[in-house]
Structure 1
Amino acid sequence: MGAGRWPGTTCLALALALCSLAQAAEYSPAVHQDIPRRVFWGDTHVHTNLSTDAFSMGNRTLGPEQAYRFARGETLTSQTGVRARLAQPLDFLMVADHGAFLGVMPKLYQRSPVLLNTRFGQHMIRYIDSGEDFLVLKDFAILAMGLGQVQNPEDYVDEAHGVTLDYLHSLRGLELEAPVQRALWKEVGAVADAFNEPGLFTAFIGYEWTSTPDGNNLHRNVMFRDGSDRTSSVLPFTSMDSGDPEALWQYMAEYEATTGGAVLAIPHNGNLSNGLMFAEETLAGEPIDRDYARRRARWEPIIEVTQIKGDGETHPYLSPDDEFADFENWDQFNLFASAAKTSEMLKHEYARQALRNGLALQQSLGANPFKFGMIGSTDSHTSLATAAEDNFFGKQSGNEPERGRMARPFTTGELESPVFNWMLSSSGYAAVWARENTRDALFDAIRRRETYATTGPRIAVRLFAGWEFEPGDEQRAAFVEFGYQHGVPMGGELVFRPEVDAPRFMVSAMKDPQGANLDRVQIIKAWVDPEGVTHERIYNVAASAGRTIRDNRLASVGTTIDERKAEYRNNIGAVELATVWQDPDFDPGQHAAYYARVLEIPTPRWTNYDAVRFDEPVPAGAPKFVQERAYTSPVWYTPRDTAVR
């Protein structure tokens, strides 16, 4: 072979190889489209017998292992002896047992020496031996609020409920030694790791931070991206350490800095916070500043907007022009029913108003503390993640299916609540658009807010916002690819484009394959004017066949419910709804947020199913029907000029 021929041959071969690679890449374009193509369904808020309240309320034998098995589709026997199974398995689950005294109750009742040799164990075993088990839960509630650590316990005396000064003093310093806590927390991580199967099922490690100042709900679920090799190096930060969310964020920052891992927090039940959850002041009473706003948005990218203890999207008082605002509202008191609610509190409790307030703060501070996406979850304390109306196992073991459960008060040990079981809502689930079913992919999708909430049904919803979408684009075969190429998905942000008059939104919704047809799709817009006053408007953008949207008005879809049988027919509504919508009221100088709400046709509520199954009447005042729904995370519009005023 001549020396002069070799370079030429090599160049030719190399050129052919490169050409072949280019053709291969073009032939299979999906190889280079690394976009979230699948929606994964899960629950980030399930309590097991490792939670003190769940155990004390009757869940004695179903731990995290059973919770994961149930979520993966196995048939379990509930604590009351009823066989239970999901119609469709979940893709992911986070067992979020309370961080305060996590895992102690089963070991306490087993008289584990590890616990009985502690002051906490000796304190609690006295209640058990005297048959006063309910006092365990009472102490837990007080300790979880951090009252055992306060400097001035006399401020919290409530003799009418047996909370005397001597009683509070007896709880001072009542905590578990670090080695005991560490061993229990390590067990939690080990079980999650054992059930985590990348690509098949994701088991997140997490817990609930249960701050409840004066009975007002400030709870967050803490979710780790990591396995127990990292999470076991720290202890859960609980409300006994501090009831201030800013302290929790500091713990999270230190965790990431020291371990190289990742963590986020998910607030829930703002509707029971009596105005604290989305307040525009810190817990210490200082006005929110830019640093606070940035930290909150960083550590709390999503909220749990719907669950068993009510729906938190909006309220009729806040949204009087929204015909669907009166939905599963819990609006009478705080978490402990210890203080009545006033109308003024509502504007700092619900997601839509918080989105509005966040836009105003963005305009004045240059940062938005309430720039959150949305998910649903159950808050089940039965270890069973059930959100379907025809498969509702209640919040705790005393609410599980049996004749008479609807009319009974919701009880906590021997403490009776003004809440009746029929008020419990069979809700909800978290939907996450991700590339694959792994901890990393799901966590990252949650952090970028590519999530949405449903009240239970598995409605598939896509929302994209951009400047170039045209009517008909929603029918493209490559609808998803087109959305990512020419816009941003739910959770994203649009920046002003001077050459385009208004943003356009491409939305597609498909019914739950095993559920009801769809009634309509709406776009909810929130915005703030130059004076800092916030506004909202609901636009009907797509409707099932036979109805026309005129002047933004849409007739009722009707109903097919047969109350006597707790059945409905899918001969109204639509299987799928999709459209491209352009904001007719757009002002390029105003901060705005948009999200989609998808409504099903009316279907029987769990109370109607119970009435038929147990041959009993639905209690007076209890709803029998429901219009299930989905809420996407918002897309935010930011004007070019975002200078702090």
Structure 2
Amino acid sequence: MSYGKSAFLIALMMAGKWAAAAELSPPPQKPVPAGKHYSPYVGQDYPTNVYWGDTHVHTNMSADANMTGSNTVTPDDAYRFAQGQTVTSQHGLKAKLRRPLDFLVVADHAEYIGLVNRLLADDPILLATEVGKRWNKMLKSEKQVFIESARQARGFAKEMMVDSFLPNKAAFRNQEFEQSVWNGVAATADRFNQPGKFTAFSGYEWTSHPEIDNLHRVVIFKDGYDKVSRITPFSAFDSIRPEDLWKFLANYEKTTGGEAIAIPHNSNASNGLMFSLQDSDRKPLTRAYAETRARWEPLLEVTQIKGDSESHPKLSPNDEFAGYETWDKANLLFLKLKEDRMLKHEYARSALKLGLQEEQRLGVNPFKFGMIGSSDTHTGLAGVDENNFWGKVAESEPSPDRWQKYFFKGEKASMKAWQLASSGLAAVWANENTRDALFAAMKRKETYATTGPRMTVRFFGGWNFTADDARRPDLALTGYQRGVPMGADLTSAPKNVKPSFLIRAVKDPDGANLDRVQVIKGWLDQAGKTHERVFDVALSDKRRLGRNGKAPPVGNTVDVKSATYTNTIGDPELAVVWIDPQFDPRERAFYYVRVLEIPTPRWPAYDAKAFNVKMDKEVSMITQERAYTSPIWYLP
């Protein structure tokens, strides 16, 4: 009885509380007026995330990465490594990224793609041909050695690589074989593609190099297996002319409804061909050529393991930072030496200036590209952090003596492994990590390149940015609402108004502080002559420009022996609104941002510490890593 009475009293008390609560509840609020929202983010669809990836990784499916059949790193391994998993390198070392990538393109060479693996597996299609039977026997019977010069090659490596792959002359073609391999490539990409988490693109490398002058392009497809499997890769065995590659891409889109782009790389090894003012028939560029190239090649891989292609000291003598990881001795196999006349047709900044001239002549700019970086590794391991560099090929994977090995011995010039650059990465601004979103960003050029670090860079151009905008927490919103982002055109100049540029750079959260932010401007004057100038627009540590217009050095905290540095110099963030003081509304121009870190140890310094070895004095031990944004073009 007592329990029932207590329960009854408690129920009455609770009922009273509920009644009181009901009596004190506020009246219903009026609805928000139509077309307005409390949340400020409703309806905003500008890119809010930067995604990191590598669009240029080779595995044991590439003939040059697996000449002797000893490469054990598969496309599956490349994807797993990019996703942050631990994999085993060709030499049995465990490898893992510090941070996973967001996207990857396994871009094996189209020429003889999968050939070596299928030979070792006794593929019946290959063994049904005389060439296949001979190469199968040669490959299995020969000693596995690293080929560091074309002259050294013998047997299978000579027949397949030196006599066929390099001169772009096919010794073996079989449609059934090529389709089978390509279908496997596309299926693997689909299997690792995880929308919203990790993006795997189908792609390959078109490996044209007339007289070994580099004209290579990475081809990337937005689409899945259902569309990509309807073609086989167009290779340099089909044609070494870029114009023919573009026709293939146009036909792919027409017949499948899909989308594709091509990304040139290593313009620095083209011996003046990559940005030539002549087409493949050595005729002056036409408007149709310019339109077609601009359509299919929206990006340039400006930095990678085989050197940096932003600019060259001889082209930019007033730019103290122009000589970064420069490869300027010769063409791909060091068979033909470089001549100074070639340089202006090889480097990005010079090509952007040439594009302004061609645009004035033709009405269309053939060299209107954005910037990305990628590795071009042939180890399958997209590791380009200075302290986690997995090299270009198997022989340049971590070892006590890799620094002094020859990367390649040419007849007229050579390159040692310590001169390899631990670079680079592609940064893409998008709303989500999906094929559609990333591909769309690449096409609109809202991308930037870094040499490895993951600094965040925003860059907008407009006509009415103010100094206060650089301090706004919603800087990006301001940039999109009142200007255009990297990769876009700035037009309709108001009378007597100079363009303003809104810039913010934030250090890699796990990396070095920033030294400075620079704007590189190129323009075409009224006489048709091009010019360039580098502006230091934001300096760390409260430094100021000297009377000579130059900034004092940021300093150097690197201890080479211990391979360490400190963030006691530099700034974690630099933001600024910069107004072009030399603007002439009649002159075509481009602007892009270069962000420099403070000095840090270069990868040989980490090797020296890890393996306790002493290296020659000529070995570069300190680097100053950087980012390059896609340009903003001003059109009169």
Asked if 2 retains the 8 angstrom alpha-carbon contact of 1:146 and 1:239, the reply is no
The answer on 1:361 being equivalent to 2:361 is no
**Cα distance in structure 1, aligned partners of 2:142 and 2:392:** 24
SS class of match (2:576):
strand
Residues 181-240 of structure 1 deviation map (CA, whole Å, 9 limit, x = unaligned): 101100000000000000000000000000010010000000000001101000100000
* Amino acid aligned to 1:320: P
> For 2:43, which of 29, 32, 35 is the aligned residue?
32
Asked if 2 retains the 8 angstrom alpha-carbon contact of 1:406 and 1:619, the reply is no
> For 1:334, which of 331, 341, 360 is the aligned residue?
331
**Cα distance in structure 2, aligned partners of 1:249 and 1:501:** 40
Equivalent residue runs for 1:71-110 within 5 Å: 71-110=82-121
- What is the CA distance between 1:116 and its match in structure 2? 1.4
Q: Which residue of 2 aligns with 1:546?
A: 542
Q: Which residue of 2 aligns with 1:256?
A: 253
Question: Given the superposition, is the C-alpha separation of residues 84 and 282 from structure 1 closer, same or farther in structure 2, using an over 3 Å criterion?
Answer: same
Q: Which residue of 2 aligns with 1:8?
A: none
Q: Which residue of 2 aligns with 1:191?
A: 188
Asked if 2 retains the 8 angstrom alpha-carbon contact of 1:118 and 1:177, the reply is no
**Cα distance in structure 1, aligned partners of 2:420 and 2:166:** 24
Q: Which residue of 2 aligns with 1:476?
A: 472
The answer on 1:131 being equivalent to 2:142 is yes
With 551-560 and 363-372 compared, the bigger mean Cα shift is at: 551-560
Q: Which residue of 2 aligns with 1:234?
A: 231
Q: Which residue of 2 aligns with 1:421?
A: 417
* Amino acid aligned to 2:257: G
**Cα distance in structure 1, aligned partners of 2:223 and 2:561:** 49
Q: Which residue of 2 aligns with 1:163?
A: none
Question: Given the superposition, is the C-alpha separation of residues 57 and 535 from structure 1 closer, same or farther in structure 2, using an over 3 Å criterion?
Answer: farther
The answer on 1:630 being equivalent to 2:600 is no
The answer on 1:524 being equivalent to 2:520 is yes
**Cα distance in structure 2, aligned partners of 1:340 and 1:60:** 31
Q: Which residue of 2 aligns with 1:283?
A: 280
Asked if 2 retains the 8 angstrom alpha-carbon contact of 1:59 and 1:396, the reply is no
Pick the structure with greater CA Rg: 2
- What is the CA distance between 1:373 and its match in structure 2? 0.2
* Amino acid aligned to 1:622: V
Asked if 2 retains the 8 angstrom alpha-carbon contact of 1:525 and 1:537, the reply is yes
SS class of match (1:593):
strand
Superposed CA RMSD:
1.8
Q: Which residue of 1 aligns with 2:456?
A: 460
**Cα distance in structure 1, aligned partners of 2:413 and 2:106:** 26
> For 1:268, which of 265, 273, 277 is the aligned residue?
265
**Cα distance in structure 2, aligned partners of 1:178 and 1:265:** 23
Q: Which residue of 2 aligns with 1:45?
A: 56
> For 2:394, which of 383, 393, 397 is the aligned residue?
397
Q: Which residue of 2 aligns with 1:111?
A: 122
SS class of match (1:252):
helix
Equivalent residue runs for 1:286-297 within 5 Å: 286-297=283-294
Asked if 1 retains the 8 angstrom alpha-carbon contact of 2:69 and 2:139, the reply is no
The answer on 1:55 being equivalent to 2:66 is yes
Asked if 2 retains the 8 angstrom alpha-carbon contact of 1:430 and 1:453, the reply is yes
SS class of match (2:403):
coil
Question: Given the superposition, is the C-alpha separation of residues 354 and 59 from structure 1 closer, same or farther in structure 2, using an over 3 Å criterion?
Answer: farther
Residues 63-96 of structure 1 deviation map (CA, whole Å, 9 limit, x = unaligned): 1110000000001111111111100000000000
Q: Which residue of 2 aligns with 1:497?
A: 493
**Cα distance in structure 1, aligned partners of 2:133 and 2:68:** 21
**Cα distance in structure 2, aligned partners of 1:417 and 1:130:** 32
> For 1:387, which of 370, 384, 394 is the aligned residue?
384
Q: Which residue of 2 aligns with 1:144?
A: 165
**Cα distance in structure 2, aligned partners of 1:472 and 1:197:** 40
- What is the CA distance between 1:529 and its match in structure 2? 1.0
- What is the CA distance between 1:450 and its match in structure 2? 0.2
Question: Given the superposition, is the C-alpha separation of residues 504 and 119 from structure 1 closer, same or farther in structure 2, using an over 3 Å criterion?
Answer: farther
Residues 419-441 of structure 1 deviation map (CA, whole Å, 9 limit, x = unaligned): 11001000000000001000000
Gaps of 5+ in 1: 1-18, 149-172, 640-645
Q: Which residue of 1 aligns with 2:446?
A: 450
- What is the CA distance between 1:58 and its match in structure 2? 6.3
Question: Given the superposition, is the C-alpha separation of residues 395 and 94 from structure 1 closer, same or farther in structure 2, using an over 3 Å criterion?
Answer: same
Question: Given the superposition, is the C-alpha separation of residues 132 and 250 from structure 1 closer, same or farther in structure 2, using an over 3 Å criterion?
Answer: farther
* Amino acid aligned to 2:96: R
Identity of aligned residues (%): 51
- What is the CA distance between 1:496 and its match in structure 2? 2.9
Question: Given the superposition, is the C-alpha separation of residues 607 and 58 from structure 1 closer, same or farther in structure 2, using an over 3 Å criterion?
Answer: farther
> For 2:579, which of 575, 579, 582 is the aligned residue?
582
- What is the CA distance between 1:30 and its match in structure 2? 1.4
Question: Given the superposition, is the C-alpha separation of residues 614 and 467 from structure 1 closer, same or farther in structure 2, using an over 3 Å criterion?
Answer: same
Asked if 1 retains the 8 angstrom alpha-carbon contact of 2:359 and 2:365, the reply is yes
Q: Which residue of 1 aligns with 2:564?
A: 567
Q: Which residue of 2 aligns with 1:6?
A: none
- What is the CA distance between 1:24 and its match in structure 2? 7.7
Residues 437-457 of structure 1 deviation map (CA, whole Å, 9 limit, x = unaligned): 000000000000000000000
TM-score w.r.t. structure 2 length?
Answer: 0.91
SS class of match (1:472):
helix
The answer on 1:318 being equivalent to 2:311 is no
Question: Given the superposition, is the C-alpha separation of residues 20 and 186 from structure 1 closer, same or farther in structure 2, using an over 3 Å criterion?
Answer: farther
- What is the CA distance between 1:343 and its match in structure 2? 0.5
* Amino acid aligned to 1:471: A
Gaps of 5+ in 2: 1-29, 145-152
Residues 22-75 of structure 1 deviation map (CA, whole Å, 9 limit, x = unaligned): 558421231201110000000000000000111126652211110000000001
* Number of residue equivalences: 597
SS class of match (1:55):
coil
Asked if 2 retains the 8 angstrom alpha-carbon contact of 1:451 and 1:632, the reply is yes
Which aligned runs of 4 or more in structure 1 are off by greater than 6 angstroms? 414-417
* Amino acid aligned to 1:433: W
**Cα distance in structure 2, aligned partners of 1:362 and 1:568:** 46
SS class of match (1:298):
helix
SS class of match (1:463):
strand
TM-score w.r.t. structure 1 length?
Answer: 0.90
Asked if 1 retains the 8 angstrom alpha-carbon contact of 2:570 and 2:598, the reply is yes
Residues 254-298 of structure 1 deviation map (CA, whole Å, 9 limit, x = unaligned): 000010000000000000000001111012211111110111010
SS class of match (1:597):
strand
- What is the CA distance between 1:111 and its match in structure 2? 1.5
